[in-house]
């Protein structure tokens, strides 16, 4: 049987390491695989390839048709920085202890080697573009070259700009817009910001806008331009290019042509705009993130008209990002890199589009934890075949190492999904884990093949509240079954499995 390229690289890498022969780049007869790492902020699996047939996402669908679409992938905490920190360090949030948007992981784990840093240490050119680490919490040690960020206006329409100017004037006159210090603590040696002030939401415009403009008049188009430019420059050396799109994050500002893709009749209101029956209040939230925008009420529900506008904006922003993904895939081909580059696309967490009457992320519901994750490798044996295995964002770090033939650091807390790209139906993890804190109480959540089970309270102690959703009977999680006495044995078994944690849920070694 022929040795696969991956096996060959692993062997070569081991030999090189054992013999102290230095970098694999000099050992391998073939060119090393590059990595194109594409993040999309707040992108949920609202994509054609995930069965959302009214979505216009031909380019992400194309990537899924080339690679592996992971149908049941989950983030480890449904909010930007904790999720990204976990994914980029390969460690779970309970290990990174980053649960908010203010804390840099270097303040807690100063010597950790991030995913791009690991590639950099193995001779790759690594660079981040747009949002990879959370805003203000970048990690210079990860990159060969300084991160690149687009300079672009947040809004473009004259009426929005006039509104913003007026609002700025009002707030300034009321003394509410003075200068504030954004960095509360720095590393005394490097100056790296370790603690940020809470995000400034004082001056927000509308939640959406549809300017009649080109892709590159807005940030993500500019980011895409720059990645393509640098790709052309570095194509002759192994690269890890991380392209972080900021849409479909609020505000939903996307060129009008993407709004026009969704005429009346293509927009669907959530059919469960109510809390799950018997849900504990702690599982819910009042979506303060959305309310900071000028066209959203301060209290109470979002009415159907506004809900449809938001859904329209989210779909349009998703299609805008999809078009940029298409430009990246085309650029790989034009540079002769398509057969030598691993591509991964991920959104950093799910998003509630009115499901359970809530918006944004910040929860342990399936809609907040379920994420898009699509990976293509030129070496995979089952291109285009989706996998229904339970997978997690912590799996990305070891997977990219394995696919590129790099050693997998031992401390990582995920499992490489590379075997699923050859055999998508392999027996795999028995559970995927997420968590979300509400105030000082942690919600520990677990998705098994059939159930989502959540406990709220201190780790390993009698929980204050439980949730149980049966995805076989209730895929929308509309009924919390945790109080049903006839399910006591199921709940006890799930509780035990939750407490055994991720190590016990890993696939058996073949």
Residues that bind Ca ion (CB under 5 A): 41-42, 80, 348
Strand segments, DSSP code E, in 232-295 are 239-245, 252-253
Indicate the SS3 state at residue 72.
Answer: strand
Which helix or strand (DSSP H or E) is residue 446 part of? strand 441-447
**Largest pairwise CA distance in the chain:** 76
Among all residues, which ones are annotated catalytic? 80, 134
Toward Ca ion, which CB reaches closer, 41 or 402? 41
CB of 400 to Ca ion, least distance (A): 20
Both tokens assigned to 439: 């105030």
Separation between Cα atoms, residue 33 and residue 403, nearest integer Å: 8
CB of 38 to Ca ion, least distance (A): 14
Cis ω for the linkage preceding 369 (within 30 of 0): no
**Alpha carbon distance, N-terminus to C-terminus of the chain:** 18
Toward Ca ion, which CB reaches closer, 41 or 477? 41
CA distance to 11, 154, 407, 417, per residue, from 27 (Å)? 11, 48, 15, 26
* Residues comprising the chain, all counted: 510
Separation between Cα atoms, residue 306 and residue 354, nearest integer Å: 11
Toward Ca ion, which CB reaches closer, 6 or 84? 84
Query: Which of 308, 304, 298 is CA-nearest to residue 252?
Result: 308
Q: Write b or e for each residue in 95-116: b if 16 or more Cβ atoms lie within 10 A of its Cβ, otherwise e.
A: bbebbebbbbbbbebeebbbbb
Q: Write b or e for each residue in 414-433: b if 16 or more Cβ atoms lie within 10 A of its Cβ, otherwise e.
A: bbbbbbbbbebeeebbbbbb
Toward Ca ion, which CB reaches closer, 368 or 495? 368
Toward Ca ion, which CB reaches closer, 348 or 477? 348
CB of 245 to Ca ion, least distance (A): 11
Toward Ca ion, which CB reaches closer, 42 or 215? 42
Toward Ca ion, which CB reaches closer, 80 or 87? 80
Toward Ca ion, which CB reaches closer, 79 or 418? 79
Sequence-ordered alpha helix ranges (H) in 139-296: 158-173, 219-234, 256-259, 288-291
CB of 84 to Ca ion, least distance (A): 8
Burial of 92 (0-12, 13-18, 19+ CB in 10 A): buried
CB of 401 to Ca ion, least distance (A): 24
CB of 219 to Ca ion, least distance (A): 15
Separation between Cα atoms, residue 279 and residue 483, nearest integer Å: 10
CB of 74 to Ca ion, least distance (A): 15
- Residue pair 91/413 in contact by the 8 Å Cβ criterion: yes
CB of 223 to Ca ion, least distance (A): 15
């Amino acid at each position: 049987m022929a040795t696969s390229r991956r096996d060959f690289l692993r062997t070569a890498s081991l030999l090189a390491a054992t013999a102290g022969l230095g970098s694999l780049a000099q050992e391998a007869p073939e060119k090393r695989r590059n990595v194109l790492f594409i993040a999309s902020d707040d992108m949920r699996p609202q994509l054609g390839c995930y069965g959302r047939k009214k979505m216009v996402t031909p380019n992400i669908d194309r990537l899924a048709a080339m690679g592996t679409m992971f149908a049941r992938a989950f983030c480890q905490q449904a909010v930007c920085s904790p999720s990204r920190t976990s994914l980029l360090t390969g460690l779970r949030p309970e290990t990174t202890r980053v649960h908010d948007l203010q804390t840099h992981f270097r303040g807690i784990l100063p010597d950790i080697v991030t995913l791009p840093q690991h590639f950099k240490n193995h001779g790759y050119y690594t660079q981040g573009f747009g949002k990879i680490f959370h805003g203000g919490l970048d990690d210079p040690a990860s990159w060969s070259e300084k991160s690149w960020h687009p300079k672009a206006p947040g809004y473009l329409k004259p009426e929005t700009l006039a509104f913003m100017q007026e609002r700025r004037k009002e707030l300034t006159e009321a003394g509410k817009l003075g200068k504030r210090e954004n960095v509360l603590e720095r590393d005394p040696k490097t100056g790296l910001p370790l603690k940020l002030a809470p995000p400034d939401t004082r001056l927000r415009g509308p939640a959406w806008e549809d300017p009649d403009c080109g892709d590159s008049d807005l940030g993500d188009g500019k980011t895409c331009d720059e990645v393509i430019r640098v790709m052309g420059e570095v194509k002759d050396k192994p690269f890890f290019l991380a392209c972080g799109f900021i849409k479909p994050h609020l505000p939903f500002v996307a060129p009008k042509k993407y709004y026009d893709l969704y005429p009346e009749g293509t927009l669907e209101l959530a059919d469960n705009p109510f809390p799950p029956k018997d849900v504990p209040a702690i599982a819910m939230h009042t979506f303060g993130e959305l309310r900071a925008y000028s066209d959203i009420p301060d209290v109470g529900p979002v009415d159907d008209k506004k809900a449809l506008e938001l859904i329209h904006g989210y779909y349009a922003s998703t299609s805008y990002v999809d078009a940029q993904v298409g430009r990246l895939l085309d650029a790989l081909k034009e540079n002769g890199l398509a057969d030598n580059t691993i591509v991964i696309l991920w959104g950093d967490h799910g998003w509630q589009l009115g499901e359970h009457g809530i918006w944004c992320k910040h929860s342990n519901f399936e809609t907040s934890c379920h994420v898009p994750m699509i990976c293509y490798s030129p070496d995979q044996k089952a291109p285009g075949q989706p996998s229904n295995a339970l997978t997690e964002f912590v799996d990305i770090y070891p997977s990219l190492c394995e696919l590129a033939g790099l050693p997998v650091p031992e401390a990582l807390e995920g499992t490489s999904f590379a075997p699923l790209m050859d055999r998508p139906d392999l027996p795999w993890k028995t559970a995927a884990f997420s968590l979300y804190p509400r105030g000082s109480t942690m919600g520990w959540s677990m998705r098994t093949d059939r159930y989502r089970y959540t406990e709220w309270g201190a780790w390993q102690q009698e929980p204050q509240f439980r949730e149980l959703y049966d995805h076989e009977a209730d895929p929308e999680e509309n009924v919390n079954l945790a109080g049903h006495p006839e399910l006591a044995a199921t709940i006890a078994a799930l509780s035990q499995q939750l407490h055994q944690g991720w190590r016990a849920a890993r696939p058996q070694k073949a």
